[in-house]
Amino acid sequence: MLELFTGAQPLIGGEDEPDPLEKRVADLDKADVIDRVLIGYSSIWPHNHAVVPYLLAQTTHLSPILAHRPGVMSPTSAARFFASLDVLARGRLALNIVVGGSDKDLLREGDGTPKADRYRRATEYLDIVRRAWTSPEAFDHHGEFYDVEGVNLQTRPHQGQVPIFMGGDSEDAIEFGARHADLYMLWGEPLAGTRERIERVRAASAPHGREMRFSVSLRIFVAETDELAWQVARDAEREIEAAQGTNRFLRSSKGDTSAGRQRALALTDQELHDDCFWTGLTKLVGGFANSQALVGSYDRVLESLRRYRELGVDAFLITTGAEAGYDPALGEFLAETKRRLT
């Protein structure tokens, strides 16, 4: 079954304007074609651990993927918080574990853990979280990063365990995902690169006896004709370019040394790949996730998505526009995508 995700940054409007989050939430809750919505994490954004409970209280359909950074709270507190939230949400919650590529962003929250240690810490963190969700008896844990005793949650996730999504291109990230991820989230890449990454993750997952599922994140610009689609894409490019030097659009920090960001920027040496894979926005936003795009007519983009599906992609995280958000105008196209590619 093909799933479709989208993203909504947890940004809250000022006092003099309507909260943009409210309209986005209402649109997303009505979008039956969207299965899950990623709510991202950054040390400078409104805290998504506050935003997501608000979203769940305001909606009946919306199923958030809450991005969570190991280290911002203890693993037992995290296990209890997410279990409670999943029960209140009647099983609508998923987690995107973000280990962190930007030292600067982590240091804002007082986390100076060297990058080489973060995945070991994250692995131990999720070992404790998953055990807290499932252990029938109280347990102690004494490890490299955490010491906890007498852990015995009274509230367990509605789903048994909250699904864990994650991504990353380094060897440490892949090994971490092979051990703990229920779905591996890939940034958009041309077909050859996507195939190579899927094969690497599958090979790492096999020794753990796990069969990995995959999503690919793509920004799409689609219209009745190729020409109209390119007009929309170029309009978004000009809008982002005109805002350079401001904080209007999200972009990656120069301090983000993640392998995924470097790999995304390497694609910008060529603007167009495959049939309609476009990197025009990627350099403008510093390799920020989900800046790689498909541009073309409905049939052309649908055919490109079909080719990703044939590689073993189980879900697409689709956004559009300069803001990289969801547009209700995509509803009919995405519904057809589900019908044709499921």
The mean-pLDDT minimum among 28-42, 277-291, 309-323 falls in: 277-291
The mean-pLDDT minimum among 1-15, 22-36, 45-59, 305-319 falls in: 1-15
User: Per-residue confidence at 183, pLDDT binned at 50, 70, 90?
Assistant: very high
Q: Give the SS3 label for residue 151.
A: strand
Can you give the C-alpha Rg of the chain in angstroms? 20
Q: At residue 87, does pLDDT exceed 90?
A: yes
Q: At residue 273, does pLDDT exceed 80?
A: yes
In angstroms, rounded to a whole number, what is the distance separating the alpha carbons of residues 6 and 197? 21
Residues in the chain, overall count: 342
Identity of the amino acid at 47:
H
Q: At residue 247, does pLDDT exceed 80?
A: no
Residue spans of beta strands (DSSP E) within the chain: 3-7, 36-39, 64-68, 94-97, 139-142, 147-151, 164-167, 183-187, 213-223, 272-273, 277-278, 293-297, 315-319
Q: At residue 280, does pLDDT exceed 90?
A: yes
Q: What is the mean pLDDT of the chain?
A: 92
pLDDT at site 235:
97
Mean pLDDT of 197-215: 95
pLDDT at site 12:
64
Mean pLDDT of 195-203: 97
User: Per-residue confidence at 169, pLDDT binned at 50, 70, 90?
Assistant: confident
pLDDT at site 105:
84
Structure confidence by residue, pLDDT tens digits, 102-116 = 788 888 989 999 887
Whether residue 150 contacts residue 161, with contact meaning beta carbons closer than 8 Å, is answered with no
Structure confidence by residue, pLDDT tens digits, 10-21 = 766 555 444 567
Mean pLDDT of 159-173: 94
Structure confidence by residue, pLDDT tens digits, 116-133 = 799 999 999 999 999 999
% pLDDT > 70, the chain = 94
Identity of the amino acid at 11:
L
% pLDDT > 90, the chain = 76
Domains of the chain in start order, with CATH, are 3-220+316-341 (3.20.20.30)
